[in-house]
Structures are given as structure tokens and as C-alpha cells.
Amino acid sequence: MRLKPLMMLCILALGSLAHAQGDPAVIEKILDEGKSRNQVMRHLEDLTIQIGSRLTGSSRLQQACDWALAKFQSFGLQNCHLEQWGEIPVGFLRGKRQLGRMISPTERILEFTTRSWTAGTNGLVRGQAVLAPDSVEQIAAHKNDFRKKWVVMKIVPQGQQPMTQEQRTAFRTALRDAGALGTISGSRNELVITSGSFQNLSWDKLPKDVDITVRASDYAAIVDSVNAGKKTELEFDMDNRFEKGPVKVYNVVAEIPGTEKPDEVVIVSGHLDSWDGPGSQGALDNGTGTCTAMEAARILMAAGAKPKRTIRFILWTGEEQGLLGSRAYVQAHKDELPKISAVLVDDGGTNYSGGLVCIASMEPMLKAATDVLNTAFPDMPVKVTVQERMPRGGGSDHASFNQAGVPGFFWTETGVSNYPYVHHTQHDRLEAAIEKYLVQSSVAHAVTAFNLACADTLLPRQPSGG
């Protein structure tokens, strides 16, 4: 039988390397399915449009977990389940009503956020903007000046010490006691970053202060108007809802069982949770990584892949609050860690999977596992980079495994997307996703995981103390 050109290229690429990898005929099917019938954008559209942003501990994240579990089951994976890793004391859901406007002296739409797990407004609230005083004592002496007003916080001059957390709390408490509607601060630039914390919260002591951050140009427009002596009216409608806890939180797990060594595992992953600032859909951080992992699972099943080792797909949660889901997984599965060959993490946005960073002993296997991608996607080269030791830090879930001595890999993202523009900002939306890059990334996940799962050995480890 005459071999197809792409299959011949696969055989030549794999045959030239010392380490046995997956069946070239199966790899050809993976490449064909992944390039010709890729569904990664369909998954991402469902996730971002039907569900939206997915804060850890929110009912929306639970909806996403259930959706992802059903997807894995529909692909035919086995051992599909939600694995609880902890509880959140108080849940938080940002409702769809998120509006900020300057009403007078001119109309202006404001781009803004509030920290997650903080108070919103009780419906639409309108009031005049006034500049903040310099001290708690001034608030006490002029309480009526702040009643039913939006208080615009001043920018701390360079070199001047900002308020401590204790001072900020006292300042905002004094404003609340004076009847202020809330405080407004300016972002450093046109990006509005959302963060927040559920630590030390309880249902009996929920936050009460309304604290808004607007983009730099909106802040400047408000301050200039107030300083010009104009009556400056603002209105906000922020449907921030607390959900009574404790709220159980889960990772989503699904598997393609290994045919020869099912107790040895290659993990393919991304994190399902996201921040939830107004405007954000959690598309690139990390809807893209969620959906490339999910599509890799679908591709492998459609190609009839039967890896020698188990390929386990995990969608982490709690990543944005400190890698909570993956850290808990490492602790709960510590007896299994010696048999995890590698953990692949896609969490760098919409650019393509451009490479892996490893130590020298891993290089031959990783090159063998990824080399065919350079033939399949010649305009999106994949590079294996060697350094002295595996990174112990890093802002994503691979770090949880590297710290435990398991090879964890954060795909190097390469391409034209400006990730800082969307990272935790109001611009993290579906329209920022680049389909051709996500197609390559989902195929890179599938090919690399399959090859590592069929290799002669587990991936080498970082030497102890190295």
C-alpha cells in the first residue's frame, strides 16, 4: 500500500529519533482530525458565551465544571468525574448588571471594576463626585460634604508613602459612616485589572464598602471636571451577589486509559476558573487553555488513539487564587507522583504552543514527542529549550508539580497576541482569540501527550538537589 505524503513525513520524523513514540499511523489520524475538523473554537464559544466568566467558588464556575464533564463524557473518555479539592467560605457571583456612567456635565461611559467578593450597589445609584479629603479627621469634621456622594480618591504622589491597609480600612469606614456612596480610584492605565480574595470572609461579616476602580482616562475626566468646579454626577449599577457557603470546589478529571501501563500517567491540563471583572468572559485566561485540552481529548478519541500509558485530562480550578486546585491535587495524589511522566499546561493566552523548557536529560524525548508538529505546522515552529534546572516557580499549575519533583511544562506561547492587554482585564473576551493558533495548540497537546504516553520510559526527573 502506498503511504500518504504526510504519513511518510511522520514516519521519517519519528524514525530518525532514538526514543520510541506513538504509532505513526495514529499520529497521522491525529493530525488530520486536528487540522481538518478542529472544534476548539466551538468549545470556546460555548464556554464564554453560554457561561461567561468563572470565578472560583461561584455558581457559574460550577456550571462550567458540569459542562466540561459532560463534554468529556460525550467524547467517550473514561473515569470522568469532579474531584473536590476544598471549600470556599463565601461564594460570589457578579451579575450581568454592571454599569458605570458620568451623567453630567457630559455623558461618558466608564470602564470599571470592583474586587471580587466585595459589595456592589443596591440597584442604580446616582450621586455627585467629590474629591477625597486628606484624613479621617477631615471626614469627621465635614460629614455632610460626603453624604450621598461618590468620593474620588487622590493619586498618591511619587515618593509619598501610601496608606497602610489599616489606614485604608479606617478611611473607608469613616466615609461609610458619613453616608458616602463609595470610593472611586483610578487604574494605572487604560487596563482595569480585577482581583480579590475570599480569605477571612464569613456570611455574618460580608464586605459593605463600595470601592470602584475606573480606567485612567475616565479617572482623569472625573477629576478634571470636579477641579473645574463643575457639578459632576456619576451613576453605577453593580449587581454583586454573595452566595452562602461553604461552597465546594472541584477539578474536572477525565481519562484515556493506558493499554499497557495504565498506572503511569501523562497529564494534559488548563485551568477552568477565571477572574470576573465587568466585560471579561475569561476567554484567554484561561478559556483557551481549557478548550485546547478539551479538544486534544476529542481529537485523540476521534483518531482511535490507544496510548500505552493513561492520558489524564484535568481542568484545574482555584488557579487564580494561588494554584489551589493543583496544589491540593498534588497533596492528595502524592503516592502516585512517581508514576506521572509529565504535566502539560496551556495557560498563556491565545498564541500557539511554541515550545517547552526542560533539562538536558529530557531533551531527546521531548524533541521526539514534538518534532512532527514542525512538519505539520511549518509556520508555527515548536522549540525545545534546555536549561540547568526545571523552574520551581511560575504563575500556573505546572509549578505545583515541579515543586514536587514531577516534570511540569508551561507551553511557551508564540504569536502576535498581546497577552497583557487581556490578562485579568476587561478585554479578556472571545473576539481576542486567534483560531489558527488554538488549532495548533490543541494538536500540540494531543500529539505530545500521545507520544510521551507511548515512549519507552517515563520522562527523566530533575536529579534530587539539582
Residues 6 or more apart whose CB falls under 8 angstroms from that of 157 comprise none
- Residue 7: per-residue pLDDT: 45
Residues 344, 267 contacting (CB under 8 angstroms): yes
Q: What contacts 24+ positions apart, CB below 8 Å, involve 77-82? A: 77/254, 77/255, 77/256, 77/297, 77/301, 77/313, 78/254, 78/255, 78/256, 78/257, 79/253, 79/254, 79/255, 79/257, 80/253, 80/254, 80/255, 81/253, 81/254, 82/250, 82/251, 82/252, 82/253
- Residue 189: per-residue pLDDT: 97
Q: What is the pTM of this model?
A: 0.94
- Residue 110: per-residue pLDDT: 98
- Residue 20: per-residue pLDDT: 63
Q: Considering the domain 5-89+246-454 in this protein, what is its CATH number?
A: 3.40.630.10
The partner residues of 268 in beta bridges, in order of sequence, read 313, 344
Residues 82, 260 contacting (CB under 8 angstroms): no
Report the distance separating Cα 378 and Cα 116, nearest Å.
43
Give the angle subtended at the CA of 89 by the CAs of 86 and 94, to the nearest 5°: 105
Q: Please report the sign of the dihedral spanned by the C-alpha atoms of residue 41, residue 46, residue 52, residue 58.
A: negative
- Residue 322: per-residue pLDDT: 97
- Residue 465: per-residue pLDDT: 62
The CATH architecture that domain 91-243 belongs to is 3-Layer(bba) Sandwich (3.50)
**Residue extents of the structural domains in the chain:** 5-89+246-454, 91-243
pLDDT tens-place values along the chain, 466 residues long: 334 444 444 444 444 344 568 999 999 999 999 999 999 999 999 999 999 999 999 999 999 999 999 999 999 999 999 999 999 999 999 999 999 999 999 999 999 999 999 999 999 999 999 999 999 999 999 999 999 999 999 988 878 888 888 888 899 999 999 999 999 999 999 999 999 999 999 999 999 999 999 999 999 999 999 999 999 999 999 999 999 999 999 999 999 999 999 999 999 999 999 999 999 999 999 999 999 999 999 999 999 999 999 999 999 999 999 999 999 999 999 999 999 999 999 999 999 999 999 999 999 999 999 999 999 999 999 999 999 999 878 899 999 999 999 999 999 999 999 999 999 999 999 999 999 999 999 999 999 999 999 999 999 998 876 5
Q: How many CA atoms lie within 13 A of 52 on its CB side?
A: 14
Residues 6 or more apart whose CB falls under 8 angstroms from that of 182 comprise 121, 150, 151, 209, 210, 211, 212, 236
Kindly state the cell numbers that stand for 66: 458540569
- Residue 19: per-residue pLDDT: 58
- Residue 11: per-residue pLDDT: 43
- Residue 37: per-residue pLDDT: 98
